[in-house]
Each structure stands twice: as structure tokens, then as C-alpha cells.
Amino acid sequence: MSAIDTLFGQLRCDGRKAFMPFVTAGDPDLDFTAALLRKLVEAGSSMCELGIPYSDPIADGPVIQASYTRALDKRIKLDGIFEMLGEVTRELAAPVVTMVSYAIVYRRGPDRYVAEAKAAGAAGLIVPDLPADESETLAEVCRREDLSLIQLITPTTPRERALRIAERTTGFIYYVSVAGITGERDALPRQLVENVGWLREQTPLPVCIGFGISRPEHVRMLAPVADGLIVGSAIVRRVAGTGEKPREEVLEEIGQYVAELLGAMAG
């Protein structure tokens, strides 16, 4: 079993849901990213997603795109990200997965990328621009290294195709809550609960929802039907405040925000 399989097995035994924050590696620098990962896990996060900055993101909204640009402007490199991750994962009581464009994986080579990610302590990969139908080569490498390859299903994915994607997924299914890009939203689609409920009946894999989740009311709406919730832009937006506030203050604000969402999840 992978670290992610173990995590969700324990969460199910405990009757709990996963809280999964997303952060951008290197925004504003790798030291802060390491401190933020520690703070997120300390606050009660079950797993963290680490975004690998890329110049041409596919589904990321303006907040995450801006964070990638800031990191790339600082000349953040993959080797440095893996070095930071290797140091911090030893301290974390929660798995970390990388959110990465397939262009980066391909350029480095799937075998090398997966081996280096595993050596750095990563538990899995999310590759949003790699179609499930074309993922077998990377999936085989991940199976060999016992890393999860998490696939995405969207509201516009036909149900027959959703089932095929689920068969090609390990770890958990990332269910995209809305058609479009990442970003905080006032409201989420009414049919979201029905769609996720249907999917959970079709697969033994955990189903976790991301895109647009930022408020306690979102958490209260979705926690009963999902196995986990993913929050990205709302955290990345707060990280952008490091240019105006002391870093410790930003970390405390994020810790309090996570605690508020976790309280809504427990309630």
C-alpha cells in the first residue's frame, strides 16, 4: 500500500475526512514553502499538494498563476524543490504529492522524475494535463515505485469515461468541482453533491473535491459526500501577503484559516 492508501484507510477507520491544502513551491521562496508545509500539517492537514511552478499552467486561475510567476521570477528550479522537499518531509506527519505539468515530467524523464520525487519523500503525483488514456507509461513507473498517480474527473466528464479514469487512478480521485479554472468562488454548483455521490458508489477509491472551495459553508456542504477537500487559491492568496506582512504573521493567519475550515469539516 502507498502512503496515500494508508492515510485514507486510517481516516476511514477514524470516521474523518481529509483536508488537503495546495501550496506553490518557491513562493515567495523555498524556505517559506517549507515553513508553510510545517504549519499546515501542524494545523491538522491530512495531506499537502505542492505545485511545481510552470510557465504555461493549464487550469490554474489568476491567483495560482501569479504565484507560479513569482516563483519562476526567483529562478526556482526543480532540483531545489526536491532538495527542500526531502528535508521537510522527514518532519511531516502527512504525505505530500506534487502537482506537476507533464511537460516537466517528460523533460526530466518519467523514470527520473518519479525516482527523484520518491527520494524527496513525495507520496504521489497529480499531472493535470496528462490525459488518463495516455498515462500508462507514467502509471507503470509510479506502480514500480509505489507512488500514487492521481487522476482528475470534471463535471463535464461523461460517466462512462469517468469510470475508465477511475480504473487508471491510484491513491484518490481528484474531482474538479466546476468547469473552468481554479479560484475562490461565492457558490458551488448544486449538482456537485449528486455527481460526487454517484462517483463514490462506482469506485472503492476515495473521492476528493477541489477547485473553488474557500469558505466554511463550502466545507459543510461537501464534507458529508466527499472523502477529502482540497483548498488552494485561498491559501496561495494569503501567501502573497508576505510582501506586506511579517512572514510569521502570514503563517499564523493561514494556520487560523485552516483551523476554521477544519472546524467546519468536523461540525
pLDDT in tens, 22-38: 999 999 999 999 999 99
Distance CA 96, CA 247 (A): 22
Say if CB 230 and CB 20 are below 8 A apart.
Answer: yes
Cis peptide upstream of residue 28 (ω within 30 degrees of 0): yes
What average pLDDT does the chain have? Answer: 92
Query: Which region holds residue 29: left if phi is over 0, alpha if psi is between -120 and 50, else beta?
Result: beta
- Tell which wins on pLDDT, 56 or 107: 107
pLDDT score, position 250:
96
Percent of the chain at pLDDT exceeding 90:
80
Say if CB 48 and CB 5 are below 8 A apart.
Answer: no
Q: Which grid coordinates are listed for 70?
A: 513569482
Find the farthest-apart pair of alpha carbons in the chain and give their distance in angstroms, rounded. 50
Q: How confident is the model at residue 181 (pLDDT cuts 50, 70, 90)?
A: very low
Over range 46-58, report the average pLDDT: 90
Q: Which grid coordinates are listed for 50?
A: 505542492
Catalytic positions are 49, 60
pLDDT score, position 184:
46
What's at 187, amino acid-wise? A
Walk me through the domains of the chain, giving residue ranges and CATH numbers.
Answer: 3-262 (3.20.20.70)
Over range 59-84, report the average pLDDT: 91
pLDDT score, position 192:
86
**Which of 193, 56, 62, 63 shows the shortest CA–CA distance to 128?**
56
